[in-house]
Structure 1
Amino acid sequence: MTDAVDRATSDAFKAFERAAADAVERVGPAHLRTLADRIAEGGSEAGIVAAVPLAGFPDAARRVLATLASVRMPAGEAAACLRGVAAGFERHRATTTVEPVWTGPSTPAVPVRSTAQVLVDLVNEASRELVLMTYSAAPYEPLLGALADAVRRGATAKVVVETLQGAGSALNGPEPAHAFAGVRGVQVWHWPVAERAEQGGRMHAKIAVADERVLLVSSANLTQSGATRNIEAGLLVRGGAAPERAAQHVARLCARGVLRRLS
């Protein structure tokens, strides 16, 4: 009987740990601390769940609260555990790794990850926010499917593209923005020609950022050719300040009206 109770208690604590780990991934350490504060204050479930107006927070909070009910941990101890998870997540995120990413011919002696794999994996990692920038764009089904899944998870997805007008004669065919028309919930932005200080300036950046903690900088456009056919090179940065600053820079350009919403 005692062994069964011990196993049940152990399973309950593991469920709480998983819920806390999932919550910090989905809402970030700052919002997990808010959840910890509300739990420590002894608020109602409805009040705790509504504490942060962020997509994904209510579900994450409910899961943590449900597992707490099984653990029967005092509110103060539970809050301390959640704050510890938030601190551990921040320490892990502060560790920076950089790896090369390539499109094109591979060499068995020097293994590198492909742009196609890294791009889709990055989008699949996002739980809160995605920022993509590309000069040219064409429908690339693996990316579009991953974007649709990210939006369904509650992540905001912002894509900044060049326009035919902005590119002059350098681009032809459909507008790059049309590549994302089939993905409900994706925000498409552009750099209006009137905002360009120099004639002939282009929106030529190619980056992808997930949750301000993973950054891909690449020569590849968001096209089938860029992901799988051309020779393209890039760097994948995990942790550190670079992903956060890249996402925040784009956010400020949008807030100031330098970048404008297309759809």
Structure 2
Amino acid sequence: MDELLDAIAALVSLVSPEKVQAIAARVRRTSASKAATALPSVVGTPLASTVVEQLAAAWQNTKVGSDELASMLIAASHVYAKAASEQSTELVWTGPTTPFVSARRTEQALLQVINSAEQSLFITSFVAYDVSTIVKALNAANDRGVTISMLLELFQDHGGSITFDAIGKMRTLVPAANLYAWRDKADPFSDGRVHAKVAVADGRMCFITSANLTGHAMEKNMEAGVLISGGRIAKLLDEHLRSLVDTKIVSVV
């Protein structure tokens, strides 16, 4: 049975729900012994045909009836489509590219998160320089009523580890932002740094990345990340960041 379930999962992740419906309709009119010849013609690509052949072979090793298999296919397709619609994940990359993999650019992804925010935006970064497109988008978000929160690493003179005052600079560039720092670091986090680089909009979209808020990170460095829309991750990340504020682990600067 596991072999059949694996074949069903492979099929519904490869073809559209409409195509699964067509396969299920053919299954209802076919016995397991004839599936290998009757089913592959329903799909139109070599890869899909191979997966359908695997389904047919796995079906012959079970006692599952035609109606039961058809129902299993439709149910699996519905669950897969629903899960996919609730959360999508995209690869984000800045740096040298190849013709073989397409990915969103870091600046693109960050701007998408900022521009999508309707109520709240929380961004964390180790350092932040003047990236004009990001600053413009942040101020535009404020103008449409978005509450902006930013957690940044402190300047060395203020107890942090970076050699310039990124927080002071950001206060000048985005005056409306609520700026936070990680000052009081109890064991085992003494000497810790704000190395998390994330952006969360409304608890429904987040960007998790290696990139700081710098021009080099947006344009020149090799940086990797993921852009996640929907699902639980963005909500959990937003809740965690706000809990750090509420419990005063990070504090207003």
Please indicate, yes or no, whether the TM-score normalized by the shorter chain is above 0.5.
yes
Give the distance between the partners of 1:252 and 1:160, measured in 2 at CA.
Answer: 13
1:132 maps to what in 2?
123
1:109-258 equivalences in 2 (<5 Å): 109-165=100-156, 166-168=159-161, 171-195=162-186, 197-258=188-249
Q: Structure 1: which amino acid aligns with 2:206?
A: L
Give the distance between the partners of 1:201 and 1:240, measured in 2 at CA.
Answer: 30
Question: Of 92, 100, 103, which aligns to 1:101?
Answer: 92
Q: Structure 1: which amino acid aligns with 2:136?
A: G
Identity within the alignment, %: 31
Give the distance between the partners of 1:259 and 1:192, measured in 2 at CA.
Answer: 7
| Structure 1 unaligned blocks of 5 or more | 1-90
Q: Structure 2: which amino acid aligns with 1:157?
A: I
Q: Tell me: CA distance 1:145–1:195, structure 2 relative to 1, closer, same or farther (3 Å).
A: farther
Could you list the per-position Cα deviations for residues 30-50 of structure 1 after superposition, in whole angstroms to 9, with x for gaps in the alignment?
xxxxxxxxxxxxxxxxxxxxx
Could you list the per-position Cα deviations for residues 52-71 of structure 1 after superposition, in whole angstroms to 9, with x for gaps in the alignment?
xxxxxxxxxxxxxxxxxxxx
- 8 Å contact 2:95–2:221 — kept in the other structure? yes
Q: Tell me: CA distance 1:130–1:92, structure 2 relative to 1, closer, same or farther (3 Å).
A: farther
Q: Tell me: CA distance 1:227–1:176, structure 2 relative to 1, closer, same or farther (3 Å).
A: farther
Give the distance between the partners of 1:222 and 1:214, measured in 2 at CA.
Answer: 18
Normalised by the size of structure 1, how large is the TM-score? 0.60
- 8 Å contact 1:139–1:180 — kept in the other structure? no
Equivalenced residue count is 170
Q: Secondary structure at the match of 2:173?
A: coil
Q: Tell me: CA distance 1:156–1:131, structure 2 relative to 1, closer, same or farther (3 Å).
A: same
User: Offset of 1:111 from its aligned partner?
Assistant: 1.5
Q: Structure 1: which amino acid aligns with 2:179?
A: V
Normalised by the size of structure 2, how large is the TM-score? 0.63
RMSD: 2.0
- 8 Å contact 1:127–1:155 — kept in the other structure? yes
Q: Specify the structure having the higher radius of gyration (Cα).
A: 2
Give the distance between the partners of 2:181 and 2:115, measured in 1 at CA.
Answer: 24
Could you list the per-position Cα deviations for residues 123-176 of structure 1 after superposition, in whole angstroms to 9, with x for gaps in the alignment?
0110111000001111111000000000011010000001123543xx223334
1:30-69 equivalences in 2 (<5 Å): none
| Structure 2 unaligned blocks of 5 or more | 1-81
> Comparing 181-190 with 236-245, which one deviates more in the overlay?
181-190
Could you list the per-position Cα deviations for residues 7-39 of structure 1 after superposition, in whole angstroms to 9, with x for gaps in the alignment?
xxxxxxxxxxxxxxxxxxxxxxxxxxxxxxxxx
Could you list the per-position Cα deviations for residues 94-129 of structure 1 after superposition, in whole angstroms to 9, with x for gaps in the alignment?
711111101111223321110011111210110111
Give the distance between the partners of 2:114 and 2:185, measured in 1 at CA.
Answer: 31
- 8 Å contact 2:204–2:235 — kept in the other structure? yes
User: Offset of 1:193 from its aligned partner?
Assistant: 3.9
Give the distance between the partners of 1:245 and 1:199, measured in 2 at CA.
Answer: 25
